Amino acid sequence: MKIVDTFGLPDGLLAAIRNDQYNVGEKLEGTEGIYSPSSLNTPPQVRQLTREHYDELEEEAVTRVWSMFGTAIHNEIERATTGSDDEIAEERLFAKLEVDGKFWTISGMLDNINKRAGKLDDWKVTSVWTVMRMDRLPEWSTQLNVYRWLAHMNGIELDTLTINAILRDWSWRESTKSDKYPQTMVFKVDIRAMPHEEIEEFMRERIRIHQQDPVPECTPEDQWYGGSKWVLRKIGNKRAVKTEDTMDGLLTYVEGKKIVALGTMLQAPFGTHEAELDELTGLSKGDYYVIERPGERIRCARYCSVARFCPQAKREGTIFTEKAYGRNNQKPSLVPHETNSSSATRISTKSAPSAGKREAPF
């Protein structure tokens, strides 16, 4: 994989990013291959396409800046460890796992262990949004429990598992507005210690899935697909008036309001400002309309490094962001859902429900 730089990063920073390589460990003698907690959790199709196209893959250096921050944090904490026999920092452990008669190497780098206290601390540099949504909890939970199992297989018993999330975008001002917002920039997440048999079964199941031939396609969960939303907009308003998971949910809200068109389908790339769509409707200020905002396969569209080689993404018509981060400045478009024609600007009213007031469809 090549690290490319189209943003003209300073030489020193670019050199540091290119130097920030993660060591994945080695295969144990007599085993089939190596799995780390992160490779176990990676969708098999992503892993396979990465192997097949590794030399052709390119990644923007700037997208690795936060990962390099993570490395720096780990290095500093490692430097600050006391060096006592009880403490271990940044230690890679290995163990063999038998799956259907074959042995595999499981490998993982443990951040900080206190053997006397039976405690494992893991450091993550992440966003406030991640800990507020807690959508990575299942992945964090299996990761730390694989580490716990690795420690156990190497004669170290750990029962207290903690993720220490360092929140790179934490804001003091936001913390004063809501108790739900993290009250400090270091956020601790306690992870339940699973029985070793439970995490072994998880690892076996994941290895079986990874070993399927052909590998399975990515699931909606793998693709970080959030499902589509229904949006009520008012011409002239910057923000949507209301967003719901279903049209029915929205209709309860719009009852009594004058709705000019319902059942509109929207297809627009990531970064689209929905307010820009108002112009395309031809409606007047104060008119309401309803659109369906198709759910985005966020991993495919923005984060998957093998997306351009992926037959599934091609078949599903994933719209990729042009840049590796941020808004892509593409103009929005309204596309009739049933034709999927990119040149059309007509708005379909085909799926308009009978409820609600509707006049002058587009």
Which residues bind to ligand SF4, rule: CB under 6 A?
Answer: 43, 45-46, 49, 218, 222-223, 297, 299-300, 304, 306-307, 310, 312-313
Shortest approach of ligand SF4 to residue 341 CB, angstroms?
A: 24
Name the residue nearer to ligand SF4 (CB basis): 312 or 328.
Answer: 312
Shortest approach of ligand SF4 to residue 35 CB, angstroms?
A: 18
Name the residue nearer to ligand SF4 (CB basis): 175 or 312.
Answer: 312
Name the residue nearer to ligand SF4 (CB basis): 32 or 59.
Answer: 59
Name the residue nearer to ligand SF4 (CB basis): 224 or 288.
Answer: 224
Separation in Å, CA 19 to CA 2, 16, 224: 12, 5, 30
First and final C-alpha spacing in the chain: 49
Question: Phi and psi dihedrals of 323, rounded to 5?
Answer: -105, 165
Shortest approach of ligand SF4 to residue 210 CB, angstroms?
A: 13
Shortest approach of ligand SF4 to residue 49 CB, angstroms?
A: 6
Name the residue nearer to ligand SF4 (CB basis): 128 or 313.
Answer: 313
Shortest approach of ligand SF4 to residue 303 CB, angstroms?
A: 8
Shortest approach of ligand SF4 to residue 230 CB, angstroms?
A: 24
Name the residue nearer to ligand SF4 (CB basis): 194 or 304.
Answer: 304
Shortest approach of ligand SF4 to residue 297 CB, angstroms?
A: 6
Name the residue nearer to ligand SF4 (CB basis): 225 or 362.
Answer: 225
Shortest approach of ligand SF4 to residue 57 CB, angstroms?
A: 12
Name the residue nearer to ligand SF4 (CB basis): 222 or 274.
Answer: 222
Give, to the nearest 10 degrees, the angle between helix 44-53 and helix 196-211. 50
Name the residue nearer to ligand SF4 (CB basis): 207 or 300.
Answer: 300
- Omega prior to 353 cis, within 30 of 0: no
Torsion of CA 63, 65, 66, 68, to 10 degrees: 130
Pairwise CA distance, residues 174 & 153, whole Å = 44
Shortest approach of ligand SF4 to residue 28 CB, angstroms?
A: 29
Pairwise CA distance, residues 62 & 68, whole Å = 10
